[in-house]
Amino acid sequence: MNKFKKILSALAVSIAFTTLASCSENSFYKEWKDAGATIEEENVFKELTVDEVVTKRDNKDSFIIFCGSSSKSGAVSAVSDIQVQADSLDYDGYVYFVNTKDILSSISGKKNATDKLGVQEIDSSDLVVVCYKEGKVYFDTSSSEKYGDIYSRFNIDGSLSYNALACYAFEYYPVEK
């Protein structure tokens, strides 16, 4: 009987961890869908924490992150645009995403994230897109003055085109599933 209880306990713990893991994977979908984004449960976004971005930078990786908060309507619209672009191009990988909703709730959290990510500004009504080449910031859409020549490639009719940025990410910085 004692052996049976141990097996049952191990099974319960296993189920609990599986449930928690699946909940964290679906939290992005639920949060952004509830905010009005047009995305499905199986979407193109892979969430990273600021510390995971720092690790990738320290490893001198080349990658792009999209940063935004579901509380900002422009960011919700941009997330929808990126997903639509991925669907229309049959992109089967991920794009990295840093959810700034909790980060922006405190001044120290915002400053800490801004410093760690190496960006000028992380708080935007839209998304902030950062491209890292070998760990260094190659461009940052929150700083159009500093990265004007690169920024202009994604500026269509006076607005930043998240469709163009998505295509760039899919082509030059794909993240396999």
- pLDDT tens for the chain, 177 residues: list them: 555 444 434 333 333 333 333 344 578 999 999 999 999 999 999 999 999 999 999 999 999 999 999 999 999 999 999 999 999 999 999 999 999 998 988 899 999 999 999 998 888 778 999 999 999 999 988 887 787 788 888 988 888 899 999 999 999 999 998
Q: Of the candidates 99, 161, 168, 162, which has an alpha carbon nearest to the alpha carbon of residue 133? A: 168
With respect to residue 133, please indicate whether it lies within any of the assigned structural domains: yes
Determine phi and psi for 133, rounding to 5 degrees: -115, 120
Contact 124, 68 (CB under 8 A): yes
Give the whole-angstrom CA distance, residue 106 versus residue 120: 17
pTM over 0.85: no
With respect to residue 39, please indicate whether it lies within any of the assigned structural domains: yes
Q: Supply the CATH number for residue 35's domain.
A: 3.40.30.10
Domain that holds residue 74: 2-172
With respect to residue 139, please indicate whether it lies within any of the assigned structural domains: yes
With respect to residue 177, please indicate whether it lies within any of the assigned structural domains: no
With respect to residue 26, please indicate whether it lies within any of the assigned structural domains: yes
Q: Of the candidates 76, 73, 127, 94, which has an alpha carbon nearest to the alpha carbon of residue 25? A: 94
Instruction: Calculate the CA 19 to chain-centre distance.
Output: 22
With respect to residue 134, please indicate whether it lies within any of the assigned structural domains: yes
